[in-house]
């Protein structure tokens, strides 16, 4: 983002920046945290900006921390995840709706490993869970042609 600077004129951004920096506060708008020594942006704002720049990194981070919380071993290399996420469309089609993609462990007894991962929709993932709870073999439904109207 390029700012046009007029000599002698300070933008509201400049004024905020100076005011907050002099009070030792993070210079981002509405943020009242304190940055580390010799820095101007706090860790929280910095990581938010980092994730905003790199959405796949956010997905990877969420997956990894979720695995840690659920005590599931996690052994996916970041480079592998990047490639797999964009090849499957996961980076664009993740979310809450039934058709959005999820990261599924093929064998639930194993952790997140490259050969134990597939990207399937929420609906498929729930269906798979049902089959597993009932001790039946699961097979992925044929993916319907997206161009066909219903
Ligand atoms: Zn901040």
Q: Which domains does the chain have, with CATH numbers?
A: 52-133 (3.30.40.220)
Q: How does pLDDT run across 94-131, given as a tens digit for each residue?
A: 888 888 888 999 998 999 999 999 998 899 888 998 99
Query: Which runs of E-coded beta strand occur in the chain?
Result: 101-105, 117-121
Distance separating alpha carbons of residues 111 and 109, to the nearest angstrom: 7
Whole-number pLDDT of residue 63 = 94
pLDDT of the residue at 136? 86
All residues with CB under 5 Å from ion ligand 1:
26, 28, 31, 33, 42, 45
For ligand 1, the distance from its centroid to the CA atom of residue 44, given in whole angstroms, is 6
* 0.85 exceeded by pTM: no
Angle, helix 55-69 to helix 78-88, in steps of 10 degrees:
110
Instruction: Give residue 26 CA to ligand 1 midpoint distance, Å.
Output: 5
| Tens digits of residue pLDDT in 25-37 | 999 999 999 999 9
Contact 84/112 with Cβ under 8 angstroms? no
29, 1, 33: which is closest to 15 by C-alpha? 29
């Amino acid at each position: 983002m390029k700012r046009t600077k007029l000599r002698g004129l300070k933008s509201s951004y400049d004024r905020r920046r100076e005011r907050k920096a002099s009070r030792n506060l993070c210079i981002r708008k509405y943020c009242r945290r304190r940055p580390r020594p010799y820095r101007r942006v706090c860790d929280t704002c910095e990581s938010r900006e980092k994730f905003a720049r790199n959405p796949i990194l956010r997905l990877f981070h969420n997956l990894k921390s979720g695995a840690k919380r659920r005590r599931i071993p996690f052994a996916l290399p970041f480079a592998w995840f990047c490639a797999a996420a964009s090849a499957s469309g996961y980076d664009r089609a993740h979310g809450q709706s039934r058709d959005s993609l999820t990261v599924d462990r093929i064998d639930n007894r194993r952790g997140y490993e490259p050969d134990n991962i597939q990207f399937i929709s929420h609906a498929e993932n729930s269906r798979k869970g049902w089959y597993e709870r009932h001790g039946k073999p699961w097979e992925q439904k044929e993916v319907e042609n997206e161009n066909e109207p219903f």
